[in-house]
Structure formats: structure tokens, C-alpha cells
Amino acid sequence: MPILRIVVLTVLLMATPALLIAQPFLVSDPYPAKEVQPTKFVVTIGGKSFDVVPEKNPDGSSFLKYDLSRLPDGIHTVKVKAVNSALKQESPEVSLPLQKTGSKVTRARDEGEKLAPSRTFPGYIRQ
């Protein structure tokens, strides 16, 4: 019986990180290590702002990683800006409409937004 408990406990401990990582996240491209790094990101959802500390890569670059799992289902507008408090600099705010259904988060399309063509023809047709 003690061996069964150890096996079950081991499986639970191994599966828990996978469950914690499998959440929907808002992730930015990394800011290169040799450029000005943000000291925080300001994420605004539904009029509420949250300061988010950047995640660091081993190469020194940093990026935004914000957990969206606590959002209620529906369409949300997320606004994000990068801030460097030491240099008193901030990026322009970027707005992103998102649709959340259960644990799935996708980009919602604005009515006025036009989608780029899915195929292009780089040549011409001779007649």
C-alpha cells in the first residue's frame, strides 16, 4: 500500500506543473537584451490596470507573460504598454480584442478590421 501512495503522489507531482502551465497567456515578443528593457508592463482589461513584471529569458531579453485564465467568458479589449520607470519612458498603448470561451482565448476581429489576403501571386499573367 505505501508503494501505491508513492506512485500516486509522484504522478500528481509530475502532472501539476503541466496543468499550471497550460493556461491561456498573453505573451509578447522578447525585447532584445542589448536594447532598453521594460521594468513593467501595464495591462488594462475592462478599465482595471495591472502592473506586470517582465519575464526574463536566459539570454537577458525580457517579455510579457500575463495569465488570462481568470477572465470571464466573452469579448474583452486588452490594452498593453511597456514602461521603463528608471528612464521614464513608455511605449504607445496597443489594443487587442480577445474572445474567451472556457479555457480558449482567441483574437476577436473588429468589424472595421480588414484581413490581409491569404494568398498572393508574385508574378503576372501573359495574354
Among 3.30.70, 2.40.10, 2.60.40, 3.30.56, name the CATH number for the domain at 20-107: 2.60.40
- Please give the radius of gyration of the chain, using alpha carbons only, rounded to the nearest integer: 21
pLDDT confidence band for 118 (50 / 70 / 90): low
Query: CA-based angle 116:117:123, to the nearest 5?
Result: 130
pLDDT tens readout for residues 63-84: 999 999 989 999 999 999 999 9
pLDDT tens readout for residues 19-65: 444 478 999 999 899 998 999 999 999 899 999 999 999 999 999 99
C-alpha cell at 111: 468589424
**What confidence score (pLDDT) does residue 122 get?**
57
Higher pLDDT, 114 or 20: 114
**What confidence score (pLDDT) does residue 123 get?**
56
CB 66 within 8 A of CB 53: no
| CA distances for 113 relative to 96, 97, 116, angstroms | 12, 11, 10
Chain centroid to Cα 30, Å, comes to: 11
Q: Is residue 4 pLDDT above 60, yes or no?
A: no
**What confidence score (pLDDT) does residue 64 get?**
94
Best CA proximity match to 43, nearest among 96, 99, 102: 96
**What confidence score (pLDDT) does residue 39 get?**
93
Q: What kind and span of H or E run contains 103?
A: none
pLDDT confidence band for 9 (50 / 70 / 90): very low
Span 110-120, mean pLDDT? 61
Residue 121: Cβ-neighbour burial (10 angstroms; 0-12, 13-18, 19+): exposed
